[in-house]
Amino acid sequence: MNGIKFFPKDLQIANKRIVLRVDLNVPLQDGKILDHTRILLIIPFLKELIKRKSKIILISHLGRPKGERERKLSLNPIFEYLKTKIETKIFFYTGNINEEVKAKSLSLKEGEILLLENIRFFKEETENDEKFSKQLSELGEIYINDAFSCSHRKQSSIHKITNFFKNSYGGPLLKKEIDAVNLVIKEKKTPVTCIIGGSKISTKINVISNLIKNVNNIVIVGAMANNFLAHKGYEVGKSLIEKNSEGIIKKIYAEAKRSDCKIIIPEDCKISKSFDGKPQIKENDKISNEEIILDIGPKTIELIKKIIDKSKTVLWNGPAGYFENKDFSVGTNLIAKKISENTNNNSLISILGGGDTIAALNKSELKLSFTHLSTAGGAFLEYLEGKDLPGLSVLK
Ligand code: 3PG
Ligand code: MG
């Protein structure tokens, strides 16, 4: 996608209020940040803006609250962490989007930051509400979207807000992401394999259907694969399953047949009776109704490694198992290791994306290298499909 206006390096920003949309949607557990990648990545640009004496109004979402305040989805832990990383005054605003927050933005001094509480606490955000977008825009003179990973969302702080700014730009992180994905699209070498994990099939159905036309293999792992196993008639016990996914799966197989794309699903798995229970390797037809599928098994890992060896490009989004527990991170780690090895010996172009994928790889503590590691999951896949992302179109 060309024609995006990026933040000009020489723009006069001293004393100007900049509304900066970032992605601070990091994994949290009991208020503890499990992976800091997304936060650490925005810091260099924040420091640059501070040095250049602008005033920064930071906006992000966290999780998917339904337009209501949810204590466990507060950005407070991220605010606390940011304070330890940046030497400037950072204020946290937890009130409504009204005259009060506007006054707060106007009272900022050069180099100071005002972080707004989770923007999805307001239902107007996901509704892309006109009035709300305008109110947000009144917090600054310049708008920058540095959240490629959120740019597939038609939401106020990404989309409609730009209607009310004379100057809206893409930030440096967004630019880096787009440049990397563009390079892969341009230099894509076949066969192309796309590995898709994660849990929700309905949110990825369109992506999968479209990718089928452009790639040679689609490997389904993670909880998403449970739906395919159930479709094949296997007992999947207490595994995570999405209701009414039958139709979706039939559509995927039909599309794959038309486009001559192979769909690969797990051949065996690692199960347990609970998320922290004893792991056990099982054939697909030996799972009992008490058990939960939590990782792919060794046969499947070998199969995927062979497919990677035969591929020239690999795109990967979504872990292969419940990586939060070490016992079930084996599939994800071994796939990552294989992709990294083949990238290193120059036989493979690799792009990995998604918050969970990055968290899983960081947790593994393996030394890995890929052509590009994207912070974006859904946005990355939709961009690959060739879609015009709403948050990017408005920056043109
Ligand atoms: C992500 O983690 O995928 C981005 O932060 C976007 O979040 P969303 O999928 O809830 O819109
Ligand atoms: Mg997402």
DSSP annotation string for 14-77? TT-EEEEE------EETTEES--HHHHHHHHHHHHHHHTT-EEEEE---S---SS--GGG-SHH
Bridging pattern class, strands 313-317 and 192-196: parallel
Q: Which atom of ligand 1 is nearest to the CA of 152?
A: 11
Determine how many CB atoms are found less than 10 A away from the CB of residue 92: 18
Closest CA to 98 of 70, 72, 124, 68: 124
DSSP annotation string for 84-120? HH--S-EEEE-S-SSHHHHHHHHTPPTT-EEEES-GG
Ligand closest in space to the Cα of 151: 1
pLDDT, tens digit (0-9, with 9 covering 90-100), for 71-114: 999 999 999 999 999 999 999 999 999 999 999 999 999 999 99
Ligand closest in space to the Cα of 63: 1
Q: Active-site residue among 38, 55, 120, 338?
A: 38
Q: How confident is the model at residue 115 (pLDDT cuts 50, 70, 90)?
A: very high
Q: Whose CA is nearest to atom 6 of ligand 1?
A: 150
Q: Active-site residue among 198, 354, 355, 377?
A: 355
| DSSP 3-state of 283 | strand
Q: Is the pLDDT of residue 1 over 70?
A: no
Q: Is the pLDDT of residue 338 over 70?
A: yes
Q: Which atom of ligand 1 is nearest to the CA of 379?
A: 3
Q: Active-site residue among 104, 154, 188, 200?
A: 200
Q: Which two tokens stand for residue 200?
A: 């929700």
| Region 232-246 average pLDDT | 92
Q: How confident is the model at residue 165 (pLDDT cuts 50, 70, 90)?
A: very high
Burial degree of 320 (CB within 10 A; 0-12, 13-18, 19+) = buried
Q: Which residue has the tokens 């999805």?
A: 120
* Whether residue 140 lies in the annotated active site: no
Q: Is the pLDDT of residue 202 over 90?
A: no
Measure the CA angle with vertex 101, ends 95 and 104; round to 5°. Answer: 120
Residue 65: CB within 6 Å of ligand 1?
no
Q: Is the pLDDT of residue 365 over 70?
A: yes
Ligand 2 centre distance from Cα of residue 199 (Å): 11
Ligand 1 centre distance from Cα of residue 3 (Å): 24
Residues 6+ apart with CB under 8 A from 176: none
CA distances from 255 to 212, 251, 391 (A): 7, 6, 29
Q: How confident is the model at residue 245 (pLDDT cuts 50, 70, 90)?
A: confident
Residue 153: CB within 6 Å of ligand 1?
yes
First vs last Cα of the chain: how many Å apart? Answer: 10
Q: Rounded to whole angstroms, how far apart are CA atoms 307 and 169?
A: 40
Q: Is the pLDDT of residue 137 over 90?
A: yes
What is the model's pLDDT at position 196? 94
pTM for this structure?
Answer: 0.90
CA distances from 169 to 15, 43, 183, 225 (A): 18, 18, 21, 39
Ligand 1 centre distance from Cα of residue 342 (Å): 29
User: Could you tell me how many residues make up the chain?
Assistant: 396
Average pLDDT of the chain to the nearest whole number: 95
Residue 382: CB within 6 Å of ligand 1?
no
Residue 318: CB within 6 Å of ligand 1?
no
- Please give the share of the chain, as a percent, with pLDDT higher than 90: 85
Closest CA to 27 of 319, 333, 278: 319
